[in-house]
Amino acid sequence: MSKNIGAKKPERSELGRVRDRLTFLYLEHAKLNRQDSAISVIDNRGTVYVPAAVVSVLMLGPGVDVTHRAMELIGTSGMGVVWVGEYGVRQYAYGRPLNHASTLLEAQAKLVCNSKTRIAVARKMYQMRFKGEDVSNLSMQELRGKEGARVRRVYREHSKQSKVDWSRREYNPDDFNAGTPINKALTAAHQALYGLSYSVISALGASAGLGFVHTGHDLSFVYDFADLYKAKYSIPIAFKMTAKFGDDKNIASKTRLAMRDAFKDGNLLSQMVVDLKYLLGEVNLEKDVDSLSLWDDKLGLQKMGVQYHEVEEDESV
């Protein structure tokens, strides 16, 4: 009889709910391993243990080595991983969603594939940014123009308040250090917001690629979703950090820390869960799935695991 080694795979009920988790943890120049149900983080200062079920996103910077056992635990604990290279985000990854039902994914696909429902969801997104204004009859072109004007106004306002010069967004994905301090801070701030958005979308079982405004990219819905929060989080924080630290070589790291604190203070994780359900429909995200079903266009859902050719033969006798 074989003996199981190590901690057993956590049950879904044992994992922290999305809204109750810490937003993200940024690590660099460290080795990640597994110790029971925790991620061990080893660097030149020593070892710390991070309970895997309480963090939404791990942002891994330069110099991080991750063992197979650590990735196994990350995948089964519903934790997102964002590899942040020296020149920006290099890779997003996610294990199995915390919500094992496909209900939200099916609802999202249905909304995206119909032009009327797709623009209705897009209008919902824009309405969340234009409080007190009626956008129900605006076309996508009109909405884009209205949003563009709003974003430009937000940048100008924070530039004036922080006394940080601003002309336009400039970002070279191949040379992060070539950017101005404000553009580097904006890149770091947006990265943190994209990572958290990606984690929430994936954890609840939706698709990161099925966007309503953005399209044609595997992260289209991440960009849609993150855009809802940039004016409140990443843009003002980037200007504040630039005003405070200027040419500091660690401005990206300092900006990420400020974003983490703002996410916590603003209870953003819980708000994202509420907003995602509002956009895609009030589906039951707490529903567990014990078995798969087989789809039938005439009979509806049928049980899986049944030898239907044997049933048909018995009925014909």
Extract the annotated binding site for Mn(2+): 147, 214, 227
| Binding site as annotated, residues | 147, 214, 227
In the chain, where do the E strands start and end?
22-27, 30-35, 38-43, 46-51, 55-60, 64-66, 80-85, 88-94, 293-294, 302-303
Report the alpha-carbon distance of residue 247 to residue 213 in Å, rounded. Answer: 35
CB 221 within 8 A of CB 201: yes
Between the alpha carbon of residue 154 and those of residues 41, 145, 226, the distances in Å are: 39, 14, 16
Contact of 200 with 56, CB cutoff 8 Å: yes
| Alpha helices (runs of H) in 130-208, residue ranges in sequence order | 140-162, 181-203
Q: How far apart are CA 57 and CA 239, in angstroms?
A: 24
User: In whole angstroms, what is the distance from residue 73 CA to residue 55 CA?
Assistant: 12
